[in-house]
């Protein structure tokens, strides 16, 4: 599974313009997250945007194994 984030702009009519070239082997589904007008509007926005990417790493079996020693401490 490949999840990739690209920056885009949505105009007033709802047209989406991707700001960098995107090449795919076939059509793909996409999710659109609408941000505030100004970039860097706060830490909460950055945290929310990074949550999915971090969850992908956190939910790996290797991560569970690496932190398993914490579950053993009572």
Identify whether the C-beta of residue 46 lies closer than 8 Å to the C-beta of residue 35.
Answer: no
Domain presence at residue 14: yes
- The whole-model pTM stands at 0.45
Domain presence at residue 40: yes
Domain presence at residue 68: yes
Q: Using 50, 70 and 90 to split pLDDT, how confident is the model at 62?
A: confident
Domain presence at residue 55: yes
CA distances from 60 to 40, 53, 65, 72 (A): 30, 12, 9, 19
Domain presence at residue 1: no
Q: Is the pLDDT of residue 61 over 60?
A: yes
Domain presence at residue 64: yes
Looking at the structure of the chain, the number of domains it has is 1
Print the domain residue range for 37.
8-72
pLDDT value for 15: 93
5-57 residue pLDDT tens: 888 999 999 999 999 999 999 999 998 888 877 665 566 667 777 777 777 77
Q: Write the DSSP assignment of 6-54 as a string of letters.
A: --EEE-TT--EEESS----SS-------PPPSSS---HHHHHHHHHHHH
Domain presence at residue 12: yes
């Amino acid at each position: 599974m490949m999840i990739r984030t690209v920056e885009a702009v949505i105009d007033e009519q709802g047209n989406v313009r991707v700001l960098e070239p995107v090449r795919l082997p076939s059509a793909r589904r996409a999710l659109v997250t609408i941000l505030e007008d100004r970039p860097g509007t706060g830490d909460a926005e950055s945290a929310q945007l990074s949550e999915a990417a971090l969850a992908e790493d956190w939910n790996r079996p290797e991560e569970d194994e690496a932190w398993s020693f914490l579950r053993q401490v009572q």
